[in-house]
Amino acid sequence: MRVMDEEKLNKVLRCIREHQETGKAPNYRQIQKECRIASLSSVSLYVNELKKRGLIETETQGGWKQIRTPSYFRASETHNTFVVGDVHCGPPTDAVECIEACVALPNEIFGDAEHVILHAKGPSMINRGIFDGDLLIVRRTPYAEYGQTVIAMIDNCEATCKVYEKGRSGPYLRAANDVEVNGKRKYDVHPKGEWSIYGVVDYVIHAPVSDEF
């Protein structure tokens, strides 16, 4: 019995999806060339296996077999979102908006609200699963509930990522780490002047972990 090469199978699936993003499905010869598969019969083997697993669909149009991923694997609607720079998770720092890229977020996952994407900097939110270098998907809103992770603006010029909390003297911005200085959690922020909520962190995309030691 022939053992299926799972790595090659995933490569074929990626090839099909990448072609589909351009609006055109690949044919067997394109898959053979791009995935470096020895023969068309082997391509057919991989395509049939992907079809059996429900990862692709095939149909014949005009005498040609068309390959595509099922509609439930494709985002029917997306909204454009800008990557706009860094936000520090420690003390508030100057908020400088610098558009780095524009990406399309699928509405099925992220909803259709206005978002921005920020690079998290610093270790003060690690107990919320936010690490240095992670991407934060931030829903733009001036409102938040206590306990939510937010991006806050201090004096309209500095920004920080914190947990929105209610204290004895009113709302404040809590860090999510175990570092203490003189019995107080380091990097908590109790704003004295004007401050506002820039947005709520809905999702975190973790940065790749380096293998270097």
One of 124, 169, 196, 210 is an active-site residue; which one? 124
Q: What is the DSSP letter of 189?
A: B
Higher pLDDT, 37 or 62: 37
Secondary structure of residue 195 in the 3-state scheme: strand
Catalytic, 162? Answer yes
Domains of the chain: 6-72 (1.10.10.10), 78-205 (2.10.109.10)
Catalytic, 210? Answer no
One of 8, 39, 52, 162 is an active-site residue; which one? 162
Over the chain, what is the mean pLDDT?
A: 82
pLDDT, one tens digit per residue, over 77-127 is: 778 889 988 998 877 887 767 788 888 888 777 888 899 999 999 888 989
Percent of the chain residues topping a pLDDT of 70 = 85
> Environment class of residue 193 by beta-carbon count within 10 Å: exposed (0-12), middle (13-18) or buried (19+)?
exposed
pLDDT, one tens digit per residue, over 161-212 is: 999 999 888 899 999 987 776 767 778 888 888 899 999 999 998 877 544 4
In order, the DSSP letters of 47-100 are HHHHHHTTS-EEEEETTEEEEE--GGGS-S-EEEEEEEEEEESSS-EE------
In order, the DSSP letters of 113-182 are S-EEEEEEESSTTGGGT--TT-EEEEEE-S---TT-EEEEEETTTEEEEEEEEEETTEEEEE--S--EET
- Residue 56: pLDDT over 90: no
- Residue 68: pLDDT over 90: no
The band of 49, judged by pLDDT with boundaries at 50, 70 and 90, is confident
148 and 142 in contact (C-beta within 8 Å)?
A: no
